[in-house]
Every structure is written in structure tokens, then in C-alpha cells.
Amino acid sequence: MVEIKKFSFNNKKLRDEAFKIRHQVFVIGQNCPQDLEYEFEEICTHFLLYKNKKPVATARYRKTNEGYKLERFAVLKEERKMGYGHMILNEMLEDLKNYKGKIYMHAQVEVIQFYEKAGFIKEGEIFEEANIMHYKMYLKKN
């Protein structure tokens, strides 16, 4: 059974579970600096996906001057290719469905096609962020 919980930074239990996934995926798996991984947490809306009551995926979004930025999509390595990334992305987009402005992200090069299938379009040139190459992508509105 899959369940997705939306939460704020103040929910320590869910925050700790999400941070554990992000630490495993980004800090250990991709060698991201911790100071870059854990920024803007208090102003974000967070999401945590459970598979059979076990936390396996997380993501967040935050309001910026440009619109809503989707960030920190992380799925545990052993749980990838099961559709959890799409599920959590769809939940976030459903949460933002009434927002009329720009929804965007900085997507790692390796997952560009994943986001393109979900309706995102590359914008601009490739760039480096936290020692990983990215493209800025925005959601094409119908």
C-alpha cells in the first residue's frame, strides 16, 4: 500500500524520515555538500511517500520570486523504477493545481526525460549545481 503525506518543517517525525532518505540519496549517494542539501527547509512544503508504512521517497516545493520551485526529489535506490517518483510529483502538482504562475525546477541531467514525460520543458543552458549538471525546467501549462 502506498501513502503520501504532506507536511511542514515543524513535523519533526516526518521531517527526520524525509531527511534520512535525502541524506542517503544526495549526501552519501551523490556526494552533495550537507550545507547545500539542507537549506530553505522551514519555508518548504514537504512530501513523504510510504510503501507498506516504510518511507521510501520524498520531495518538497517552495515559493520563490519566480514561482513555485519543486526540489529534492529522492527515492531510495532499492525502490527506484517502481513509479514512486511520478506518484510524489503528481501529488505535488495536484497540490499546486490552482496556482496560475510558473512551476519550475533544477533537474539533474540523468532524469530530464522523467520530467519531460510529466510535462516539463528544458529552459536555458546546462549548469552545475552541487557538483552535478542540471537544466532548469518549467511545467508547460495547458
- pLDDT in the model for residue 130: 83
Question: Position of cell 523504477?
Answer: 81
Reported confidence tier of residue 34, pLDDT bands at 50, 70, 90: confident
CA distances from 93 to 86, 88, 90, 111, 133 (A): 10, 9, 5, 18, 24
**Above 80 in pLDDT, residue 141?**
no
Euclidean distance between CA atoms 50 and 67, whole angstroms: 28
Reported confidence tier of residue 142, pLDDT bands at 50, 70, 90: low
Euclidean distance between CA atoms 127 and 62, whole angstroms: 21
Could you give the domains of the chain? 2-139 (3.40.630.30)
What are the beta bridge partners of residue 105? 70, 137
35-76: per-residue pLDDT in tens? 777 788 999 999 999 999 999 999 999 999 999 999 999 999
What are the beta bridge partners of residue 50? 3, 55
**Above 70 in pLDDT, residue 4?**
yes
Reported confidence tier of residue 131, pLDDT bands at 50, 70, 90: confident
> What are the residues whose beta carbons fall under 8 Å from the beta carbon of 140, sequence distance 6 or more?
119, 120, 121
